[in-house]
Amino acid sequence: MTVLYIEKGQQKTLNEEIEIKGIALHSGKDAEIKLKPAPVNTGIVFFRSDLDYQLKLKAEPGAVVNLVRNTTIGSREIKEAKVSTIEHLMAAIWGSGIDNLKIEVSGPEVPVIDGSAYPYYQQILAAGLKDQQEQRKIFKVESPIYAREEESYITILPYEGFKVSYTLDYQHPVIGSSYFEFDTDKISFGEEIARARTFGFAAEVEKLHEQGLALGGSLQNAVLIEEKKTVNPLRFENEFVRHKILDVIGDMFLNGRIMGHIIAVKSGHRLHVRLAEKIREKMLEEEN
């Protein structure tokens, strides 16, 4: 048996509805989300308020429809019914301790705000959380599960808690190689991980724009990297690897709360979701 369910504390949802507005990172259009309290066992569910039909998109591995520079969930039957760039928001929801939430989205993408999870995280905690009358279920990994693609890999090992160890290695003088470890019982998510911003290379901007990506990117919502320096100052000396851990957390939350030690080397959204899919397979085996 690879995964076990354990109960730990009460499920939580948002105390009151909150609204967050901003620019969408990839489309460059105005974006707005409303975070709303949800009943027990709902999980994290997205709705598109701009579509004529109310389609529920539950954040889970099987709902992922695109992994190019972001994590997008959607319907496989209705092409336009999708919500993209959810990973930073998902990480913020995980970090705040919420289990059940309805997210109403004004269009196909959530606002990027400052390129990190911190603005979402701050507003969620300011609104407050409330306990619900059902126990929280956590998926405890009991044997290794892994995914690999060429020189990149990610694995989850048994661990009494939740930890992410990430090795970043870019053939670029500004980034180079770095390593960071986040353990939820030892390090503050809000201060040490949530504030790390997404990053991009000045040399790639034109190509990304031609592909319809990063049209909303700016120095207000991303760290821009030139040949020998960053254009805007870093929040941490190793902000890049911290942001990679943020992405791992957001993508792993597609399975709800899990217990284990994730070790990742040069992984991205595609590999994260592949591991999440394998974890979900084991969960379903346990349920059946």
Q: At which residue do the structure tokens 């709800």 appear?
A: 256
Residues with Cβ within 8 Å of residue 122, at least 6 apart in sequence? none
To the query of whether residue 269 is one of the catalytic residues in this protein, the response is yes
CA–CA–CA angle 261, 265, 267 (5° rounding): 100
Instruction: Summarize pLDDT for 97-114 with one digit per residue, the tens.
Output: 999 999 999 999 999 999
CA atoms within 13 A on the CB side of 117: 32
Distance of CA 85 to the CA centre of its chain: 8
Whole-number pLDDT of residue 177 = 96
Q: Is the pLDDT of residue 53 over 80?
A: no
CA–CA–CA angle 213, 218, 222 (5° rounding): 85
CA–CA–CA angle 267, 59, 109 (5° rounding): 80
E strands, the chain, in order: 3-14, 18-23, 30-37, 44-48, 57-58, 64-66, 72-74, 82-83, 101-105, 129-141, 145-149, 152-157, 162-169, 177-183, 199-201, 223-225, 258-265
Which residue in the list 26, 243, 269, 272 is annotated as catalytic?
A: 269
Whole-number pLDDT of residue 8 = 85
pTM: 0.95
Q: How many helices (H) and strands (E) does the chain have?
A: 6, 17
φ, ψ dihedrals at 266, nearest 5°: 55, 30
Check: CB of residue 235 under 8 Å from CB of residue 196.
yes
Instruction: Summarize pLDDT for 1-46 with one digit per residue, the tens.
Output: 456 888 889 999 999 999 999 999 988 999 999 999 999 999 999 9
Structure tokens at 57: 């998109």
Q: Is the pLDDT of residue 195 over 60?
A: yes
Mean pLDDT of the chain: 94
How confident is the model over 82-96, as a mean pLDDT? 97
Instruction: Summarize pLDDT for 198-241 with one digit per residue, the tens.
Output: 999 999 888 888 888 889 999 999 999 999 999 999 999 999 99
How confident is the model over 135-144, as a mean pLDDT? 94
